[in-house]
Structure 1
Amino acid sequence: MTDPDNKNPLDRLTDAYEDILEHVHDAIESAKENTIPGLKDYFDDAKEKVVELGELSREEADKVAGYVERDVKDAAHYLIETGEQLSEWWQFDVQQVEDRMIEMFSRVADQTKLELNKIAERAKEASRYHTGEVTGPGTLICSTCGKEMHFKKTGHIPPCSGCHGTEFRRAGENKD
């Protein structure tokens, strides 16, 4: 990066956006294949690097990292929800974007997509109901046989009367 004191402040922030994205990308690339520390850690490390190098103040680094994280999460959500390619999210031909930028952004968006899927899976697991737990009024559906169990008031969840299953989901939720 050139001398930060002689640069237009907006250009410095734009350059820093790419620097932070590159730092996060490089951290993902150097991580062990089976290890997925949180992207939050990667963003924190990237912010520290640009501050240590004197490229940005701490406040600027927080702001720019927030921009990168916002864009990457938005792209990851788009990829999860639509199954489309990143070029569809950008809504223009990827040939217009530098190859290195495409590779970095894609890798970080893919990592974010993995983390979002893990969060969704944990949320899904947390929303399962099990025999012996307490539930409020409503209908639970057996995960094994689909039999409905109606609770008019708060009560303990018994095994399914149809198959003796012990895992249920709330009626209206999508099946696993």
Structure 2
Amino acid sequence: MSKDDPKAHLSEAYTRMIERARTTAEDAGKRLELAVDEARDMAHELGELTRDEAELLAEYVKRDLQDLGAYLGSTGHDLRGWFVMDKTLVEARLFELMTSVADKTNLALAEFSRNLHEPAVWRTGEITGPGVLACLDCGKTLQLAKPGRIPPCPHCSATRFRRQHGLPSD
């Protein structure tokens, strides 16, 4: 763990949780939400995360997957538009993992996103996957190239964001 971020292990745990959820959903044909819950339990049972960390991280993963499902279901675009950045900026392993989730469980993602009643809000201190977040106060964007903790807005220090969607320019 680094001095700057005592919870830095959560960023890697985010990727592992998505990977385990995808594998469980594919292998056992389970709903993606249940697969995330199983990945949460496994992270705790293996001692990778405390129960509270696993619960919180599972909610972050579900939020991101729900938003991804809503985006794919409503636009028909590919995953690059959800990230709003060139895929070369996104960690290769995570891009492949998210693409795999999107390709193989597109229907599950669409079903999963139906539970989303209002647009999600991302907050400073939470963990999220790569992409672009727009500050709800000033509108400036924050680009995240890999899973990690959301910092305050670098422009106005606000703490609330929405995920920005759209295809990146090539």
TM range (shorter): 0.5 to 0.7
User: Are 1:60 and 2:57 matched, yes or no?
Assistant: no
Taking a change above 3 Å as real, the CA distance of residues 70 and 120 of structure 1, as seen in their structure-2 partners, is: closer
Q: TM-score, normalised by structure 2?
A: 0.57
User: Greater helix percent: which structure?
Assistant: 1
User: How far has the Cα of 1:59 moved from its partner?
Assistant: 1.1
1:81 aligned residue: 74
Percent identity at matched positions?
A: 36
1:127 aligned residue: none
Which runs of structure 2 are paired with 1:108-147 in the superposition (5 Å)? 108-110=101-103, 113-115=106-108, 117=110
2:18 aligned residue: 21
Answer with 1 or 2: which has the greater Rg: 1
Structure 1 counterpart of 2:40, from 47, 56, 76: 47
Letter in 1 for 2:18: L
User: Distance in 2 between the 1:7 and 1:51 partners?
Assistant: 24
Give unpaired runs (5+ residues) of structure 2: 115-170
1:99 aligned residue: 92
Q: Which runs of 4+ in 1 moved over 4 A?
A: 116-121
Instruction: Report Cα offsets for 1:22-78 as digits up to 9, x if no partner.
Output: 1112223433xxxx3211221111011110111111111010011111111101110
CA contact (8 A) 1:72 1:108 kept: no
Taking a change above 3 Å as real, the CA distance of residues 76 and 119 of structure 1, as seen in their structure-2 partners, is: closer
Letter in 2 for 1:15: E
CA contact (8 A) 2:21 2:35 kept: yes
Give the RMSD, CA atoms, in angstroms.
2.9
Give unpaired runs (5+ residues) of structure 1: 122-176
How many pairs does the alignment contain?
Answer: 114
Taking a change above 3 Å as real, the CA distance of residues 116 and 29 of structure 1, as seen in their structure-2 partners, is: closer
2:8 aligned residue: 11
1:90 aligned residue: 83
Which runs of structure 2 are paired with 1:146-165 in the superposition (5 Å)? none
Taking a change above 3 Å as real, the CA distance of residues 7 and 46 of structure 1, as seen in their structure-2 partners, is: farther
Taking a change above 3 Å as real, the CA distance of residues 62 and 118 of structure 1, as seen in their structure-2 partners, is: closer
User: Distance in 2 between the 1:27 and 1:120 partners?
Assistant: 18
